[in-house]
């Protein structure tokens, strides 16, 4: 090779680093900006070095417990908070793939250690820890005060004392008789309300409340047929709330406070801000709105509590409280406890608010996602309509004397829908897998060893003062467990016997309702209401994108459990033409 073609090597020119090295402190003091930069870089590098030094080996060789592997971070004080704030889902899922063999990893939020657990065996062990090792009560108590407005300081002891008997009342959400009664009453309301899912009334005065909240407008489609354009999320959430909540808090409350659920969703949007305990006067609009919404709801609930109290004494609670006997057994049973433990009216109202939030925040949004997924796929819609036909049957319309008849549902058999519609059940489970991101949180009270049942498996040491999160969504979106986890697959959870016959649909290893002592108390009711609501709506109504064309799936927005969305959700609804 001709050496003349090779580039000649030049001695390096003096760079900023060589200058820094040779002149060090005097150069930096003469350039304060560079000094600040150098200090910041040094701080970041030190933080990174120290936090990665605390990362133990992935698995100890002798199987003895070691701390859950810590993820290194660069920003002192903040730790992983910026990464979580930027895109928690992508950040935590990426780490799941890196730490898969450990089944857990630990993050640093503002100096506190948060263990994120996703392997099912570890999750089960964590959720079933005795409260002496790890508990959620402290977190729940703080949420009761900060989010739901319980007067924690003034009534701390009352709260602690009545918690156990209060929780015991939840048996009424799962025992057969009271659960059947709740489901039966809800089904009755669905029958009464499904014909007015949309009315087609142009004037707001004649529209239903859920239509008004959903900004219903009458339009014409390409064929010139009348359709009702609505915001589907608002319509569905409000309709579901009114159908289901009377069986929990009674029909008087539902009728007397029509704006309550609008406020509930306003508070839900500010839930995480309220949970931080930030004061009301801070100029953060979602926080201010959440505070105001909560105040209105607590005021309404306090009126309800006073009426129930009077009614409990056999007194007349007023003309608007004539149906208090139909309040559900959980709320009804609380009166005796409130009196026994001297709980104030404000605290009673906060307790009811927490229940109303739990009963609405997740299930109504889940119905919305189920409808979005089902109406997006017309072939699936047809299959589901065939599956539910014996159990959710619209009445054939007869137009006597040329008068248009209100749409009616002739058969609504909730037991049939829940036990004989595996494809619909699989859609429900698939939405809980894809459209839900709940975490169960506990605080570690004593050092303990987190050990899965398998004696050979690695055991982990958790230390007093650390936090433990069972991140159900990390398991639900794990490509090693669910093929193409980002794809919503309607029949994914349908189960077959050896002859290929469908035998049902089940959760498998998913735990969307949490587990252990704090597992969702309303899960049986949630399942039945979601199944009946979706069956009734698809049996009776057609839903299409505004202007026809492609269905656009709304984007997920982080909430506490089932995802919310900020995407537009306007659609055209019209009465289904029966075959």
Residue ranges in contact with ligand HEM by CB under 6 A: 136, 167, 170, 173, 355, 358-359, 362-363, 366, 436, 438, 440, 512-515, 518-522, 525-526, 561-562
End-to-end CA, the chain: 84
Residue 97, Cβ density class (10 Å: 0-12 exposed, 13-18 middle, ≥19 buried) = exposed
H helical segments located in 54-135: 81-98, 120-127
The secondary element (H helix, E strand) that includes residue 559 is: none
Q: How many angstroms separate the CA atoms of 215 and 454, rounded?
A: 55
At 230 the three-state DSSP class reads strand
Residues 6+ apart with CB under 8 A from 397: 404, 405, 407, 578
For residues 231 and 570, is the Cβ–Cβ distance under 8 A? yes
Characterise 226 by phi-psi region: left (phi > 0), alpha (psi -120 to 50), beta (else). beta
Structure tokens of 84? 């979580």
Nearer to ligand HEM, 210 or 527 (CB): 527
Nearer to ligand HEM, 70 or 538 (CB): 538
At 473 the three-state DSSP class reads helix
Sheet holding 112-117, edge to edge: 104-109, 112-117, 467-471, 439-444, 134-135
Q: How many angstroms separate the CA atoms of 22 and 27, rounded?
A: 9
Neighbours of 566 (CB within 10 A): 11
What is the radius of gyration, based on Cα positions, of the chain?
28
Shortest CB 562 distance to ligand HEM, Å: 6
Closest CA to 244 of 315, 163, 185: 185
Shortest CB 518 distance to ligand HEM, Å: 4
Nearer to ligand HEM, 211 or 268 (CB): 268
Is 418 known as a binding-site position?
A: no
Q: How many angstroms separate the CA atoms of 559 and 409, rounded?
A: 34
Binding residues: 520
Binding residues for heme: 520
């Amino acid at each position: 090779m001709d050496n003349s073609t090779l580039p000649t090597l030049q001695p390096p020119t003096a760079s900023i680093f060589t200058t820094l090295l040779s002149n060090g402190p005097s150069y930096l003091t003469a350039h304060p900006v560079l000094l600040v930069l150098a200090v910041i870089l040094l701080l970041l590098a030190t933080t990174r070095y120290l936090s990665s030094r605390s990362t133990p080996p992935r698995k100890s060789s002798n199987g003895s417990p070691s701390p859950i592997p810590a993820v290194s971070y660069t920003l002192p004080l903040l730790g992983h908070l910026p990464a979580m704030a930027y895109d928690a889902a992508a950040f935590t899922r990426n780490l799941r793939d890196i730490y898969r063999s450990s089944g857990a990893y630990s993050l640093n939020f503002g100096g506190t250690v948060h263990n994120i657990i996703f392997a099912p065996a570890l999750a089960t062990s964590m959720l079933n820890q005795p409260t002496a090792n790890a508990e959620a009560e402290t977190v729940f108590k703080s949420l009761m005060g900060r989010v739901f407005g319980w007067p924690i300081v003034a009534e701390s002891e009352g709260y602690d004392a009545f918690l156990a008997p209060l929780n015991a009342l939840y048996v009424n959400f799962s025992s057969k008789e009271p659960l059947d009664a709740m489901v039966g009453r809800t089904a009755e309301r669905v029958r009464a309300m499904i014909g007015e899912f949309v009315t087609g009334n142009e004037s707001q005065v004649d529209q239903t409340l859920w239509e008004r909240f959903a900004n219903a407008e009458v339009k014409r489609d390409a064929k010139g047929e009348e359709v009702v354009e609505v915001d589907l999320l608002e319509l569905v959430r409000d309709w579901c709330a009114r159908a289901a909540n009377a069986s929990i808090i009674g029909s008087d409350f539902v009728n007397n406070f029509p704006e309550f659920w609008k406020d509930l969703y306003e508070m839900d949007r500010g839930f995480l801000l309220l949970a931080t305990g930030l004061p009301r006067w801070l100029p953060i609009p979602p926080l201010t709105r959440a505070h105001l919404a909560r105040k209105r709801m607590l005021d309404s609930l306090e009126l309800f509590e006073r009426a129930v109290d009077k009614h409990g004494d056999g007194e007349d609670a007023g003309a608007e409280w004539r149906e208090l006997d139909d309040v559900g057994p959980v709320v009804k049973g609380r009166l005796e406890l409130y009196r026994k433990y001297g709980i104030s009216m404000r605290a009673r109202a906060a307790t009811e608010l927490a229940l109303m939030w739990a009963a609405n925040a997740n299930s109504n949004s889940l119905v919305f996602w189920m409808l979005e997924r089902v109406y997006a796929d017309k072939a699936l819609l047809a299959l589901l309509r065939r599956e539910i036909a014996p159990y959710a049957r619209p009445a054939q319309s007869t137009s006597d004397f040329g008068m248009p008849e209100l749409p009616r549902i002739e058969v609504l058999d909730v037991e049939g829908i829940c036990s004989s519609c595996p494809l619909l059940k699989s859609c429900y489970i698939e939405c809980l897998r894809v459209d839900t991101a709940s975490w169960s949180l506990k605080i570690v009270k004593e050092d303990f060893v987190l050990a899965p049942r398998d004696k050979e498996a690695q055991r982990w040491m958790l230390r007093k003062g650390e936090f433990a999160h069972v991140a159900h969504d990390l398991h639900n979106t794990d490509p090693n467990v669910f093929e193409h986890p980002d794809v919503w697959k309607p029949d994914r959870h349908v189960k077959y016997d050896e002859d290929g016959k469908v035998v049902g649909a089940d959760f498998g290893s998913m735990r969307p309702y949490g587990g252990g002592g704090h597992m969702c108390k309303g899960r049986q009711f949630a399942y039945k209401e979601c199944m009946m609501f979706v069956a009734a709506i698809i049996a009776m109504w057609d839903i299409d994108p505004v202007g026809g064309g492609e269905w656009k799936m709304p984007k997920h927005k982080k909430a506490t459990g089932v995802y919310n969305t900020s995407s537009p959700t306007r659609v055209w609804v019209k009465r289904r033409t029966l075959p």
